[in-house]
Amino acid sequence: MTLTTLKGALLGMTILGLATPALADQLADIKAAGKIVTATDMHYAPFDMLNNGTYEGMTKDLFDEVSKELGVEPVYQDIPWPAELPGLEVGKFDIIIAPVTVTPERIERYAFGLPIADATVGLVRAVSSDAVQKPEDIAGKTVGVQQGTAQFKQLEAYGASLGEVSIKEYGTTDEAYADLAAGRLDAVAGSSPNLAYLVKNRPETFVQTDPATFGEPKYFAWAMQKDEDSASLVEAVNAAILKMHDDGRMAAIQEKWLGVAPDLPREVPTE
């Protein structure tokens, strides 16, 4: 190789090196922008709700604190649940803060933060009807559930084990509760915290079954993209949640909205 050829090769390598993009870091980008863009369904009390047009709920209180730890402002978006996971995959927002049930299938595709609440599935019925007293009583009955949720899949599997259960899907839990109150459903399936909150606030209309839940214990968590670029964000969110556990903020917010502060794993579930 001549000296001229060697100089040309080195120059080419330098140019290629300069042209190589730096490794993307989602957390660094978020901090540079000064904001973190979220997605949630604001029709999922007590986690997310609109009160005279104002967003409030346990999720907002928790994520307000996480945003402070990250040093950025949260941008809250009201997105229908069926559009949230697909939207996350194409980068329409940084994080889904709607409570997402952690399942083995979702763990394969998304990165989860530490659990923020219990998500075990349960049932609620109308006070005016005693046809469904316990979970197995839904055999041969019509049960409402929010579409696209892990609770739907758990209800479907449980219904199959009982025999024939007619499942009606709804865009929001509020729609399902309305039909239950009107006598168009025998029961509604959902996560235990949501149903407990419903019964607490509308005891004259709704009551939980006894026992209140069925199936395996599940947890709610926030979902982020599962790639190398997002690893720093996942780590920072989890560090903030652990800090809130240790300084009492997590328990205080849970007691405010759920009435209790349940023990939650300090590690991300693996199944």
Task: Please give the CATH topology (third level) of the domain spanning 121-213.
Answer: D-Maltodextrin-Binding Protein; domain 2 (3.40.190)
CA-based nearest residue to 124, from 49, 43, 196: 196
Q: One-letter amino acid identity for 19?
A: A
- Decide yes or no: CATH 3.40.50.150 for domain 26-117+219-258: no
pLDDT in tens, 225-250: 999 999 999 999 999 999 999 999 99
Query: Any idea which residue has 């214990």 for tokens?
Result: 217
3-state SS, residue 268: coil
Residue 255 makes CB contacts below 8 A (sequence gap 6+) with: 261
The ranges of the chain with pLDDT < 70 are 1-23
Q: Where are the domains of the chain?
A: 26-117+219-258, 121-213
Tell me, what's the pLDDT at 209?
96
- Domain 26-117+219-258 identical in fold to domain 121-213: yes
Predicted confidence at residue 262, as pLDDT, reads 86
Q: What is residue 156's predicted lDDT score, i.e. its pLDDT?
A: 95
Q: Looking at residue 266, what is its pLDDT? A: 93
Supply the pLDDT for residue 100.
95
Write down the pLDDT at residue 23: 58
Radius of gyration of the chain (CA): 23
pLDDT of 51:
94
